[in-house]
Amino acid sequence: MIDIKQGLENLREYIKIAPEKPGVYRMISDEDEVLYVGKAKNIKKRITSYSHLEKLPVRLQRMVAQICRMEFIVVENEARALLVENELIKKFKPRYNILLKDDKTFPHLMIDVESEYPCLRKYRGSRRDKNKYFGPFASVMAVNSVVDILQKVFLLRSCRDHVFKNRQRPCLMYQIKRCSGPCVGRISKEDYRRLVNEAVDFLEGRNSRIQSELSAKMSEASEKQDYETAIMLRDRIRALTNVQSKQNVEYADIKSADVISLVREKNMVCIQIFFIRSGQNCGNTPYFPSQAAEASDKEILEAFLSSFYATHIVPKEIVLSEEIENKTFMEEALGTKISTYKKGNKAAIVKMVTENARESIARRIAMMSSVKSNLSDFAEKFGLSGLPKRIEIYDNSHIQGRYAVGAMVVATPEGFDKKSYRTFNIQNPDITNDDFAMMKEVLARRFEKMTKENRPDVILLDGGRGQLNAVYESLQGFDLEGISIIAISKGLERNAGKEFYHMRGKESFALEYQSPLAFYLQNLRDEAHRFAIGTHRRKRAKSIYKSSLDEIEGIGARRKHDLLNYFGSAEEISQAEIKDLQKVAGISKKTAEKIYNYFHN
């Protein structure tokens, strides 16, 4: 290890050549390990601050002592620096950065405003188009409650496009006054567009104007003795009034804000975030950043903002429990207002978010205590060398050898590590009916890619001695030192809780019925089974979607989709005449002839 004087000297050499522009810097050790990734509006000015050792916490002094060289990336602005920093942190996982395990994709509401008759949908995924997105919502239940409101008040369609295009009479949603029936012309294009604009205004927090406009329209309809329209408008006003009466008073004046609070208790740091949109609480979620024990609260909050908002929609305001040092930089990078409050409604909300963070820490400690107790019991009962830090559980799934897949799930003392889950399509078609051979292939492929970082302590197999022996046979050429391999088979009565456990060199045994450890191991096995079944079903569904249409030149996914929607099945398409095929949008006479000739020659 380089001493602190040498590390400081290396740092000062790089300060001389550092650019005075926005960008990202990397601090690298003599072993080419990335120690730290940071962002700055002025790289030279930022890294100069590390040369004042007396002002640095002990953690960063250790980092400076290990600096051998530095690398810089100059970018056009602060926002780009934020994205590049986040990408590099995820890639290198530097030991001195605060790491956020953010594998959550929050649901949103989407309105495809550019389509002829926009649709209201729940949505997860990237947002790269010109549609309107609203959220995030912390849970599907929160999204559903808002969808229910919007359907009552604004009567927007929620059906899929192919259903919309092929409908000949109003659906049930129209009958129960949850849709205006644009599919069958019960509302004009102009009037439907007005409903869409009103819904967007509502979701963006302009509620009061909508209600006054609806009231004026209702009065106008009554004066014209258009009582049917007046009643419809009255029902919409009542629904909107009902929504507003249910809003919490403390959220009422907040259009779009995330309220974030940090709590540190019992050597654990929790960041709680509440999503508030249009005066409604859209849910909350806790985060537990790693490598944060020695960092200050301000540093952790700033790292959280950098990481979280690199992949999530930024609200109009971010309310923090305390100030951060680089507030101006973060506001410019995120394009939003960052605030703290000492009094008023928002201060009260921050206090409530803080209490939720404390509760989250208490729950996590209780859960970790339970898991640690189970792992300790696991190590004792199964003769493990220590508490397992990484448990891999394997299962296979197929239907009479078809769509065969293997699945691996990973459990740690902190719970299931879903980012480490893997699926294996069985490559040898001759073994898809042989569970032993499938397990051998899966484990052999897994161990070929094993590294020091992802080496398991325990492997759990769904099966008996046969699976256990097959796995040992397939892993003869690999280093298995310190890895315990255990097979779990159902008991004679095939009851959960009466499983038998098999290990090499030991007699098979069962755990105490309904013991906490038995439940824990059942949960691990069931998660592997769930993941394997889900993967198998997705593969089967994808295969089922393929049809003979795939073999016709010039028939892509879009045309195939339209043909199947119009005729219902490939069988019906094969029996259709040329004139009938031409009725499908996008199918010319030449293409229709090609399809007809394919099926009839």
Each residue of 236-273: pLDDT tens digit? 776 666 555 555 556 666 778 999 999 998 889 999 99
3-state helix, strand, coil in the chain (%, to 5): 50, 20, 35
Q: Work out the average pLDDT over 192-208.
A: 80
Domain chopping of the chain, boundaries: 4-92, 108-251, 256-362, 391-543, 548-600
Please say if the pLDDT value at position 174 is more than 50.
yes
DSSP one-letter code for 554: T
Please say if the pLDDT value at position 15 is more than 90.
yes
For every residue of 278-329, DSSP letters joined together read TTEEEEEEEE--BS-TTS-HHHHHHHHHHHHTTSS---SEEEESS--TTHHH
Number of other residues whose CB lies within 10 A of the CB of residue 204: 15
Each residue of 416-462: pLDDT tens digit? 888 899 999 888 878 777 888 888 888 999 999 888 889 999 999 98
Please say if the pLDDT value at position 108 is more than 90.
no
Higher pLDDT, 66 or 563: 66
Tell how far CA 559 is from the center of its chain: 31
Each residue of 490-506: pLDDT tens digit? 765 555 557 889 999 88
Rounded to whole angstroms, how far apart are CA atoms 410 and 263?
29
Can you give 42-111 as a three-state secondary structure string? CHHHHHHHHHCHHHCCHHHHHHHHCCCEEEEEECCCHHHHHHHHHHHHHHHCCCCCCECCCCCCCCEEEE
DSSP one-letter code for 418: G
Each residue of 366-416: pLDDT tens digit? 888 888 899 999 999 999 988 999 999 998 887 766 778 889 999 998 888
**Residue 548 β-bridge partners:** none
Say yes or no: do domains 391-543 and 548-600 share a fold. no
DSSP one-letter code for 117: S
pLDDT score, position 113: 86
Greatest mean pLDDT among 130-139, 183-192, 562-571, 589-598: 183-192
Rounded to whole angstroms, how far apart are CA atoms 87 and 73?
12
Cα Dmax for the chain:
91
Output the CA–CA distances (angstroms, integers) from residue 266 to 263, 350, 413, 535, in the order listed: 10, 21, 17, 40
Mean pLDDT score of the chain: 85
Rounded to whole angstroms, how far apart are CA atoms 31 and 454?
21
Edge-to-edge, what's the strand order for the sheet holding 69-74? 34-40, 23-28, 69-74
pLDDT score, position 209: 67
Single pTM value for the model: 0.70
CA quadruple 429, 435, 438, 443: dihedral, nearest 10: 180
CA angle 216, 217, 218 (to 5 degrees): 90
pLDDT exceeding 90 applies to what percent of the chain? 33
What are the helix and strand counts (H, E) for the chain? Answer: 20, 18
Rounded to whole angstroms, how far apart are CA atoms 458 and 419?
18
pLDDT score, position 498: 74
Rounded to whole angstroms, how far apart are CA atoms 12 and 148?
60
Beta strand pairing call for 391-399 and 402-412: antiparallel
Each residue of 491-550: pLDDT tens digit? 655 555 578 899 998 898 988 887 889 889 988 998 998 888 888 777 776 665 555 666
Higher pLDDT, 418 or 37: 37
CB 483 within 8 A of CB 471: no
Number of other residues whose CB lies within 10 A of the CB of residue 542: 10
If pLDDT is split at 50, 70 and 90, which confidence band does 208 have?
Answer: low
pLDDT score, position 103: 63
Higher pLDDT, 104 or 155: 155
Which CATH superfamily groups domain 391-543? Answer: UvrC, RNAse H endonuclease domain (3.30.420.340)
Of 365, 377, 386, which Cα lies nearest the Cα of 517? Answer: 377
Residues 6+ apart with CB under 8 A from 525: 393, 395, 460, 462, 488, 499
pLDDT score, position 61: 92
Each residue of 311-366: pLDDT tens digit? 888 999 999 999 998 899 999 989 999 999 998 888 999 999 999 999 999 988 88
CA angle 539, 543, 547 (to 5 degrees): 165
CB 354 within 8 A of CB 321: yes
Q: Work out the average pLDDT over 201-206.
A: 75
The two tokens of residue 245 are 């009466």
Query: 4-92 sits in which CATH class?
Result: alpha beta
Q: Which amino acid is at 286?
A: P
Provide the CB-side half-sphere exposure for 513 (13 A, CA).
6
Place of tokens 């038995």: 518
The two tokens of residue 61 are 């002094």
Which CATH superfamily groups domain 256-362? Answer: UvrC, RNAse H endonuclease domain (3.30.420.340)
Topology annotation, domain 548-600: DNA polymerase; domain 1 (1.10.150)
DSSP one-letter code for 387: -
pLDDT score, position 486: 94
Output the CA–CA distances (angstroms, integers) from residue 171 to 180, 508, 513, 577, in the order listed: 10, 59, 52, 31
Rounded to whole angstroms, how far apart are CA atoms 592 and 577?
9
Edge-to-edge, what's the strand order for the sheet holding 268-277? 280-287, 268-277, 256-265, 317-320, 337-339
Each residue of 328-339: pLDDT tens digit? 999 998 999 999
pLDDT score, position 1: 46
**Residue 263 β-bridge partners:** 270
